[in-house]
Structure 1
Amino acid sequence: MTGFISEPNKHIEKYFDYYFDGEKNFEYAVLLNGAWGSGKTWFIKEYIQKQESKGKKVAYISLNGLSKTSDIDDEIFRCIHPKLASKGAKILGKVAKGALKAAFRFDWDGDSKPDGQVSVSVPDIELPDYLKITSKFILVFDDLERCKLKIEEVLGYINYFVEQESIKTLIISNATEIQQNEYFLKIKEKLVGATFNYTEDQDLAIQSILNEVLDGDLKTVLNSNLELIKQIFNQVGYQNLRSFKQTVFDFKRFYKKEFFEGNGNFESEIFEKVLKAFFILSLENKKGRFEKEILNFKLDELEPMTDEEKRKRALQHLLSFVGEDAQKFQKKYQMRLNEYIFSKDLWNEILNKNIIDDKIIKKELYEKYFRFKEDQPTWYKLWYYLNLSETEFGYLVTDAQKSIEYSKLNNITDILHTISMLVYFKEQNLISFPVENLLVLAIEQFKKIVKLKENIKKLNFFDIREASGGYGLYAHEFPIFENFIEDLAQAYEDKYVEKNIDRVQELLILMDNDTYEFYQQITNKYYDYPILKSLEPGAFLDQLLKIDYRNAMNAIDGLSSRYTTHSQTKIYLQEEDWFEKIIALANERLALATMLEKHKIQDKFLPKLGEIKQQAYKG
Structure 2
Amino acid sequence: MRSYISEPNKHIQDYLDYYFDGKKNFEYAVLLNGAWGSGKTWFVKKYLEKKEDQGKKICYVSLNGIAKTSLIDEAIFKSIHPILGSKGAKLAGQILKGTLKATVKIDLDGDSKSDGSISGGIPKIELPDYLKINDNFILVFDDLERCELKKEEVLGYINYFVEQEGIKTLIVSNEEEIKDNDEYARKKEKLIGATFTYIEDQNLAIQSILDEISKSELKTLLNSEFELIRQTFNQVGYKNLRAFKQTVFDFERFYKKEYFSYKDSFDPEIFKKVLKAFLILSLENKKGRFHKEILNFNPDLQMEVPKKPEDKIAEAVSGFEGNDAQEFYKKYQMGMEGYIFNQKLWDQILNKNIILDETINNELYESYFRLKEEKPTWLELMDFWELEATEFDLLVNKAKYEIEKSSYTHTTDVLHTISMLIYFKEHNLVHFNIDSLLPLAISQFKQLFNVNDRIRKLEDSSFREYSGQYGFYAKDIPQFKKFMDDIVKSYEEKYIEKNSERVEELLDLIENDAWLFAQRIILNNSGESLYWDFPILKEINSKEFASKLCKISRYNSNYILSGLDQRYSIQASFNMYIEEKDWLDEVEINIKTKILPSADKILRAKINLHILPKLAKIKENAVK
User: How many angstroms does 1:407 deviate by?
Assistant: 1.0
Whether the 8 Å CA contact 1:319–1:474 is kept in 2: the answer is no
Whether the 8 Å CA contact 1:179–1:185 is kept in 2: the answer is no
> CA–CA distance in 2 between the matches of 1:151 and 1:552?
70
Q: Which amino acid aligns with 1:573?
A: I
Secondary structure at 2:31 match in 1: strand
CA 1:595–1:318: 2 relative to 1, 3 Å: farther
Report the more deviating stretch, 222-231 or 256-265. Answer: 256-265
CA 1:437–1:542: 2 relative to 1, 3 Å: farther
2:112 — aligned with what?
none
2:446 — aligned with what?
447
Q: Output one character per residue of 1:330-386: Cα deviation in whole Å (capped at 9) or x when no partner.
A: 332222222111223332333334444444333322222221221111111112111
CA 1:480–1:133: 2 relative to 1, 3 Å: same
Asked if 1:529 corresponds to 2:528, the answer is no
Q: Output one character per residue of 1:280-332: Cα deviation in whole Å (capped at 9) or x when no partner.
A: 122222223334433234556779xxxxxxxxxxxx99973345544433332
CA 1:595–1:65: 2 relative to 1, 3 Å: closer
Q: Which amino acid aligns with 1:181?
A: N
Counting only pairs closer than 5 Å after superposition, residues 338-377 of structure 1 correspond to structure 2 as 338-377=337-376
CA 1:481–1:451: 2 relative to 1, 3 Å: same
Q: TM-score, normalised by structure 2?
A: 0.84
> CA–CA distance in 2 between the matches of 1:106 and 1:442?
86
Whether the 8 Å CA contact 1:139–1:167 is kept in 2: the answer is yes
1:477 — aligned with what?
476
> CA–CA distance in 1 between the matches of 2:459 and 2:101?
66
User: How many angstroms does 1:31 deviate by?
Assistant: 1.5
User: How many angstroms does 1:86 deviate by?
Assistant: 3.4
Whether the 8 Å CA contact 1:379–1:414 is kept in 2: the answer is yes
1:118 — aligned with what?
120
Q: Output one character per residue of 1:374-429: Cα deviation in whole Å (capped at 9) or x when no partner.
A: 11111111121111111111111111111111111111111121111112111122
Secondary structure at 1:85 match in 2: coil
User: How many angstroms does 1:485 deviate by?
Assistant: 1.9
User: How many angstroms does 1:609 deviate by?
Assistant: 5.2
Q: Which amino acid aligns with 2:540?
A: L
> CA–CA distance in 1 between the matches of 2:556 and 2:30?
83
User: How many angstroms does 1:561 deviate by?
Assistant: 3.7
> CA–CA distance in 2 between the matches of 1:83 and 1:302?
66
Q: Name whichever structure is richer in helix by fraction.
A: 1
Whether the 8 Å CA contact 2:55–2:136 is kept in 1: the answer is yes
> CA–CA distance in 1 between the matches of 2:102 and 2:279?
45
Whether the 8 Å CA contact 2:4–2:10 is kept in 1: the answer is no
Secondary structure at 1:4 match in 2: coil
Q: Which amino acid aligns with 1:530?
A: P
Q: Output one character per residue of 1:523-551: Cα deviation in whole Å (capped at 9) or x when no partner.
A: 34322111122223444455566767887
User: How many angstroms does 1:585 deviate by?
Assistant: 6.3
Q: Output one character per residue of 1:417-475: Cα deviation in whole Å (capped at 9) or x when no partner.
A: 11111121111221111222222111111221222222223322357369811111111
User: How many angstroms does 1:212 deviate by?
Assistant: 4.1
Q: Which amino acid aligns with 2:3?
A: T
1:223 — aligned with what?
223
Whether the 8 Å CA contact 2:9–2:199 is kept in 1: the answer is yes
2:310 — aligned with what?
none
Counting only pairs closer than 5 Å after superposition, residues 73-84 of structure 1 correspond to structure 2 as 73-84=73-84
1:58 — aligned with what?
58
> CA–CA distance in 2 between the matches of 1:291 and 1:108?
56
1:503 — aligned with what?
502
Q: TM-score, normalised by structure 1?
A: 0.84
Report the more deviating stretch, 354-363 or 266-275. Answer: 354-363
Gaps of 5+ in 2: 105-117, 304-314, 524-528
Counting only pairs closer than 5 Å after superposition, residues 165-564 of structure 1 correspond to structure 2 as 165-178=165-178, 180-213=180-213, 215-262=215-262, 265-298=265-298, 320-462=319-461, 464=463, 468-524=467-523, 525=529, 526-541=531-546, 543=548, 555=560, 558-564=563-569
Secondary structure at 1:454 match in 2: coil
Q: Which amino acid aligns with 1:460?
A: E
Counting only pairs closer than 5 Å after superposition, residues 83-98 of structure 1 correspond to structure 2 as 83-87=83-87, 89-91=88-90, 94=91
Whether the 8 Å CA contact 2:466–2:472 is kept in 1: the answer is no
Asked if 1:9 corresponds to 2:9, the answer is yes
2:146 — aligned with what?
146
User: How many angstroms does 1:476 deviate by?
Assistant: 1.0
User: How many angstroms does 1:169 deviate by?
Assistant: 0.7
Q: Which amino acid aligns with 1:347?
A: W
Q: Output one character per residue of 1:557-588: Cα deviation in whole Å (capped at 9) or x when no partner.
A: 54444323467640122223434555666787
> CA–CA distance in 1 between the matches of 2:76 and 2:537?
69
> CA–CA distance in 2 between the matches of 1:44 and 1:507?
65
Whether the 8 Å CA contact 1:101–1:108 is kept in 2: the answer is no
CA 1:218–1:614: 2 relative to 1, 3 Å: closer
2:311 — aligned with what?
none
Q: Output one character per residue of 1:489-521: Cα deviation in whole Å (capped at 9) or x when no partner.
A: 222221221121232233334444544443333
CA 1:447–1:158: 2 relative to 1, 3 Å: same
Secondary structure at 2:169 match in 1: strand
CA 1:335–1:81: 2 relative to 1, 3 Å: farther
Whether the 8 Å CA contact 2:29–2:170 is kept in 1: the answer is yes
> CA–CA distance in 2 between the matches of 1:549 and 1:20?
82
Secondary structure at 2:522 match in 1: helix
Q: Which amino acid aligns with 1:73?
A: D
Q: Which amino acid aligns with 2:19?
A: Y
Q: Output one character per residue of 1:113-158: Cα deviation in whole Å (capped at 9) or x when no partner.
A: xxx98279967xx413344211111111222222221122111011
Q: Which amino acid aligns with 1:78?
A: K
Question: What is the percentage of aligned positions where both structures have the same residue?
Answer: 53
